[in-house]
Every structure is written in structure tokens, then in C-alpha cells.
Chain A
């Protein structure tokens, strides 16, 4: 590459560069939007149109598909959606509290064994969650907890990565002086955590919540292993099973496609509304929200 003289505002060069880089990014955006655009159009078609009409010409069957999906086996689809919201919402909320408390303790207290505790917890980041799912199943089976809501909810509350982030957020956003001042005023430790630390580290806590929420929402293997009755399924396991049946009953394809669309909508909305919380610097650990 020639070392061009680029000191002044050479507008021609500047514009050319912006066209190329903008075009590359827009190609990337197109690639990312394509399947979403396809599902939006495909869910407007009935089972026959899906295989016969032009891919990107919408039809008018979206509402019919939604009604049909809603009536599939007495509203099983909506049950799956509610289950997913329950697993992800309750699980992520509990996970955020547990991680926040642990991270706060690790960042703002000195006690014997702290280094060991943190190392062991952090090593948990490295343990692939899916490898845990099978032994978790056999352990929970021994106390009769498999095929219950608990079997999917409980294993996903512990989040070593959430604890790691909470420790960093506390260290970065809750000054020691403030805690000392509150303590001098007679506030108890848990009161200091709830009333002072939590508000100060709330952007970080929202990020932990989102990570865990998306992680649980996306999790497939754990509920796939734990659950036998389809009334407990989250949406991922439910739709996967429906697709499995679809390979013999193609009429189910339009249900699967409509279900896929409806299941994406809540998360996409959540992302667009809360996207400023996703600026996480993993290596430095700071939140730039």
C-alpha cells in the first residue's frame, strides 16, 4: 500500500473509503437479516404456498397460522412460551441476586480463603455447561426432581461468569469510602448491599441479568435432557420436537415457521430496548453503558 499524503481533508479519498467500508458492513447486515426476513415472509404462507410460491412474496395467512399454532394440542405453543419466560425470567433474576451478592463479597471484603473461593468459582467458567447436564440429570433423578420445573430452573442459577462480572462491577462502581461511611452511620452489611451497592452497580447487574436471560432462553440441551412431558418444555425443545414430527408431516412446517417467528419477537424487542447494556468489555471488564 502506498503511503498516501493524507494530512489534509482530501475529500475524494475519504468518500471512497467510506463507501467501501459502509458497503462491507451493509453486506454483513444483509447476511444477518436474511433468515429473519425469510421467516417473516414464510410465516405469512400456508403449508401449500410454502413450497410453491416465490420465497419473498408474502401471502395472507399469518393470522391463520398463528390461530392454528395457538390451537395446536390445546395451546401447547403458548404454554412453551410461558415456560420459557418463566425459566429465563425467574432463573436470570435469581442468578443476578446470587452473583451480585457473591461478587460484592469478593470485591469488598477481606477474609481468609477468598483467593481459593474465587479461583474455584472462576474455574467454573471453564466447565462446559452441557457436559454437566447429563450428570445433573442422574443426580436429580435420584431425588425425583427430573421432569419438573425445578430441574431446569435450579441448575441455571449458578453462573460463575456472572459472579466474575459482579466482582468487577463492584470494584469499579462501589467506592470503599461510601461503604465505610454507611457503616459508620450504623448500616448493616446486607442493608449496605441492597440500598447502596445495588443501585451503584445496577448497569452491571442488568448486563448480568441479560447474559443469563439469553443463556437460559437459548439453552437446549439441559431441558432436552431433563424434561419428558411436553407441557414443561421451553420453546427451543418444543419447536425442535415439532420439526422432528414435521419431517413426516410436512403440514407441520408452517406451524414450526410461525412458531420460530413468534419465539424470536420477545428477545429481539428486549435486545433493541436494552442494547446499550450489551457493551461489555470482556478483557477489561468495565461496563461502558
Chain B
């Protein structure tokens, strides 16, 4: 632009050119500031405060906030409820993420194989649960877990097998993981399948001529090429794991084993709205956000390197 002859018209264009991108970014920046930056800043401020009762503790002016330093963080990190919920979600993630991504990769590779039949049907059907909100899928699975209405228990009874009640005891975490698996495997499969489809097929031809089997091509060629997609889906899945809230909250009325502090976010919700301790809830939120951020930092690096290396 600066190379153009400095006619009045082009100078006007250059000047306008400076304001225009900001006008286009305007709505996004304003909304980002109001609904993302401000809430984060507000949470940070709250997390360093606490409420104290002054005077006789009567009336609306009797409470004031004071600087609390790191007290809320110390309390949050030392809270056995929080540690138990974090451990529970950690275990949940360790079960869920590898199972979900392993199955998604398996399905994606099978969809990409010319030997597989009924591929369109399988692809659409496995992706379909993504259309079902987590609350609704928790509802459906919740009923399938109830011995009184579930077909699994009918079938098991007929075969003389006693199935454990998945909504009671510690295995309820597996019941929750299964709901997330059901909702997430198809979405991850589609992401991986799309990367597989973008590999030029002539890459395989040489390998096929050399006598490589389809399994070898999958392991030695396909998986390494789509590795960035796998890393991204892994990080997205880990972020989602840390935020698990809707599934256990929906299942709670059906199960005695799900407490109001079952996951870290459920504890944040309880502290903020049931106990009215927004300061402690804020500190716990920040802890969760920092852990999430550390996990996703890798993701940002991968994205920037992969996606914008060659953009003009």
C-alpha cells in the first residue's frame, strides 16, 4: 500500500485502511473485554479477598471485604473436598481420554480403509451423539443405568448374570465416563478422519508396492501424519475433562454416590451459590483455570506453528 503513488485518493484509502480493521474487530474486542477479560479479572480480585463482619453483624453495611492474600488459595488447595474431587476427575480423565481417543482413532482408520463396508452409515451414526446435549445424554444413560427400566439388566437377568449397580459406589465415575465417551467419540473420530482424508493417496502407493500391509500403513504412515490432530484432540479432551459438570449434575438425582462436590466445578458452584462464599469459589476457579491453561499451553504452540506457518 505504501508503494502506491501518493495521489489524494490512495492516501485516503491508506488512512481508511487503518481504521477499518479495528472497526471490523470492534464487536469482537468489546465482547471479549466484557464477557471474558472482565470476568477473569473480577475472579482474580475476588480470589484475594474475604468478607468480614464488622460491628454487631447486623444490617447490610455490616459486611465488608478485606484483602486476604493467599488465604483462599491455601484453603482451597488444602480442602479435602477439593482434593477428593480433583483426584476423582483425574482418574476420570485417565480412563476417559485414552479410551475415547483410542476408539476414535480406530474408527477413523477403519473409515479410511477401502476394505470397510457401510462406511457412510457408520460415520454418521457414530457422530450422531454429538448432536445430543450432555444433559440429555446423561438423562438417557441415567435411565439405562436404572435396573428398573434398563434393557441391560433385563438381558443379564435372562442370562442369569448379576450386573453391579453402576449408579452406586465408586464405579459411578465409570458411569459418568461412559456418558462422556458416548458423546465425544464421534466428534473426535470426525476430526481424525478429516485429517486422514487430506493425506494424498499416492503416499500409500509406494508403500503398497513395497508390500506393506494396511495395518503397517496405518501405524507407520497415517498415524504419524495426523499426529498434530491427535495432539489437539487430546488437549481439547483434557480441557473438557477438567470441566465436567453437566453429566454428574444431571445424574445426581438418580444416584446417592454423587455428592454436591463430586467434581471441582460442582464444588465451585456449591461454594458460590449454596454457601455464598464467592471468594473461595473464585480461588478454586483460578486454580482450575491455571491447571487448564498449563495443559493447553502446548495446544497454542501446536496451533500457531501448524496453521499460520505459510499464511500470506
Contacts and interface: CB of A to CB of B under 8 A. Distances in A.
B89 to A, nearest CB: 13
Interface bin, chain A: 35 or more
Contacts of A163: 28
A278 B282 CA distance: 36
Contact of A221 (B42, B113, B182, B246): B246
A236 B249 CA distance: 12
A247 interface: yes
A105 B23 CA distance: 9
A24 B106 contact: yes
Interface string A201-240: 0000000000000100110110011000000000111011
B233 A101 contact: no
Interface string B259-290: 00000010011001100001001100100110
Interface residues of B, number: 117
B136 to A, nearest CB: 5
B18 A102 contact: no
A209 B81 CA distance: 39
A3 B36 contact: no
Contacts of A34: 144
Interface in B223-247: 226, 228-229, 232-233, 239, 242-243, 245-246
Contact of B24 (A158, A193, A239): A193
Contacts of B25: 101-102, 105-106, 117
B156 interface: no
A276 B214 CA distance: 27
Nearest to B179: A35
B22 to A, nearest CB: 7
Interface string A155-185: 1011010011000100100001000000100
A109 B122 contact: no
Nearest to B39: A135
Contact of B149 (A21, A55, A117, A279): A55
A220 B131 contact: no
B135 A240 contact: yes
Contact of B282 (A121, A135, A154): A135
Contacts of B129: 32, 35-36
Interface string A86-97: 000000000001
Nearest to A30: B125
Given A22-B117, A28-B122, A154 B35 contact: yes
Interface in B292-312: 292-293, 296-297, 299-300, 302-304, 306-307, 311-312
A283 B312 contact: no
B107 A25 contact: yes
Contacts of B273: 225
Contacts, number: 324
Given A117-B25, A282-B232, A131 B144 contact: no
Contact of A18 (B40, B115, B232, B292): B115
A258 to B, nearest CB: 11
Contacts of A120: 32
B21 A109 contact: yes
A288 B103 CA distance: 23
B124 interface: yes
B42 A135 contact: yes
Contact of A263 (B136, B150, B185): B136
Contacts of A260: 136, 139-140
Interface of A: 1, 3-7, 14, 17-18, 21-22, 24-26, 28-29, 31-36, 38-39, 42, 50-51, 54-56, 97-99, 101-102, 104-107, 109-111, 114, 117, 120-132, 134-136, 138-139, 154-155, 157-158, 160, 163-164, 168, 171, 176, 183, 189-190, 193, 214, 217-218, 220-221, 224-225, 235-237, 239-240, 243-244, 246-247, 253, 256-257, 260, 263-264, 267-268, 270-272, 275, 278-286, 288
29 contacts: A22-B118, A32-B126, A32-B186, A35-B137, A39-B140, A101-B28, A102-B28, A106-B21, A106-B25, A114-B21, A126-B293, A126-B296, A131-B265, A131-B285, A135-B282, A154-B35, A158-B28, A176-B312, A190-B23, A224-B249, A243-B250, A247-B253, A263-B136, A278-B190, A279-B190, A280-B191, A280-B194, A281-B194, A281-B195
Given A132-B36, A224-B249, 5 more contacts: A38-B144, A127-B292, A171-B311, A260-B139, A271-B131
Interface of B: 1, 13, 16-18, 20-25, 27-29, 31-32, 35-36, 38-40, 42-43, 46, 103, 106-107, 110-111, 113, 115-119, 121-122, 124-137, 139-144, 148-151, 154, 182, 185-186, 190-191, 194-195, 197-198, 208-209, 211, 213-216, 226, 228-229, 232-233, 239, 242-243, 245-246, 249-250, 252-254, 265, 268-269, 272-273, 278, 281-282, 285, 288-289, 292-293, 296-297, 299-300, 302-304, 306-307, 311-312
